[in-house]
Chain A
């Protein structure tokens, strides 16, 4: 008898557990929660801890207080890396977004073949993250590359130069590559443009608005939420540039393309100054947080949400 009760109890417990919504909720999100704690929160806190230590992977981390941070603020390479990264982002993001927006507007027209064209313009972005394309870029802008041959045949260049090895042009080859890959924001702009009701343009036409009035008075304002999203995502993405720089210029010549993450990588994994690199990582995190915060705060002055406007 007791056994039977126990079994019944167990069964009802099992049913209870199977039917508990709270438990199911935690069960379903638990892989995310684990990944979040183990591969995000813990590493972030550990990085913070290491940033106060001197640690070269052999032996134990030695606590040195704020030494890494004061060293960084006296490190000319840190300022070089910041300057290079900001220059790269400052030119790449607006240019990339401008191309993305213009082409999205063009592809938003009802013309033949737009789906095909859109695909063609998107291909550099979809393939662009690969090592193959980075290596290709290095060849094209190298001394024997196709760029020199073409420019010389057009009489735009007298003698060949290695664009990736010339201090004044190296960073620009990287910026050009970043601008070339405007596909993702273009697709996002296109999706945004398709949500703008045609009736707005029609009534504007009836009121006699011309092309540029429609663009600046309807398209741009209604697209600001999408512009806002693209600006944030592109700044973060380009700030993190690593692979292409590592392959194309290796940070050279004379550190003219030493982007921040490349410097961090070298300090951490080439010089194994893990404490120093951890401090660099936290400074990077703070910089990104400040930039994101500023853009978010500024958004109320220039981003229009339709629901607020439509009242």
Chain B
């Protein structure tokens, strides 16, 4: 066989085998969710028989709370914070790119600098504040800080806006639109790709967030999925691996589905974050 033919075969073989090792842990979890309890920790990827017992057991949850509650909580937190986050980020992006006002450049620079600020250091006073006003054990302290524009999203939308001709704004203003009208009627619709990308990331981060609910949520009925999964591994009781794998698989399913359908947006979003600074 000549070299030109051999090379692609070796290429595909190596990429596939390494790729298999890469996703083996995830496949193992999915396989484990279908295995019977005695074989759940077996390394094989093929369940001895396809049983849904783990899903039924896992879904029952803890006490009288099923996973329906935890999924509902996660959806509320992720959806509400995403809607606020994206809309307000788009407003800020428009203000920073299209309007001239005193201090614009400095404020934009400050916003970009805060991209690098580790948010962990803001936790303590936020906790003290929310504790003071009696918001502990509610969704409010989780959602509210996520509502305000995150520099990452503003920056992403700014990059997109810079690619849209200002002629569009001018034409609309000649037709009698105010700046507010330009934003809502003209730019918001054209921003759709950037908004989808931002929405995906915002939803994804809120969905996966563990530290914030860990700090603020005490009652089990308000637990999002990320916290509820932790309950499976109570060190004082025997862990039901099968049920935990089943609910773990379900918990990453929304993220996986979003990834499947919106891969292009995710890849674009990650790419723009790293280029064209």
Contact = CB atoms under 8 A, between A and B. Distances in A.
Interface of A: 18-19, 21-29, 31-36, 38-40, 42-44, 46-47, 50, 57, 106, 111-113, 117, 119-124, 126-127, 129-133, 135-140, 144-146, 149-150, 153, 180, 184-185, 187-188, 190-192, 195, 225-226, 229-230, 232-233, 236, 239-240, 242-243, 246-247, 261, 264-265, 268-269, 274, 277-278, 281-282, 284-285, 288, 292
Given A31-B92, A124-B22, A269-B127, A130 B41 contact: no
A113 B12 contact: yes
A106 B127 CA distance: 46
Interface stretch (B46-54, B59-67, B113-121): B113-121
Contacts of B111: 32, 36
Given A25-B104, A121-B22, A132-B252, A195 B41 contact: no
A310 to B, nearest CB: 17
Contact of A226 (B19, B88, B275): B275
Given A28-B91, A40-B117, A137-B25, A50 B12 contact: no
B259 A126 contact: yes
Interface in B113-165: 114, 116-128, 131, 145, 147-149, 154
A8 to B, nearest CB: 19
Given A25-B104, A33-B107, A120 B23 contact: yes
Contacts of A130: 207-208, 226, 248, 251-252, 255
Interface residues of B, number: 90
Contacts of B271: 187-188, 190-191
Given A130-B208, A240-B118, A243-B211, 16 more contacts: A29-B95, A32-B89, A32-B91, A32-B111, A39-B145, A46-B124, A113-B12, A123-B259, A124-B25, A126-B255, A136-B25, A136-B29, A191-B270, A242-B211, A268-B124, A282-B121
Contacts of B248: 130-133, 135-136
Contact of A34 (B120, B148, B255, B273): B148
A140 B99 contact: no
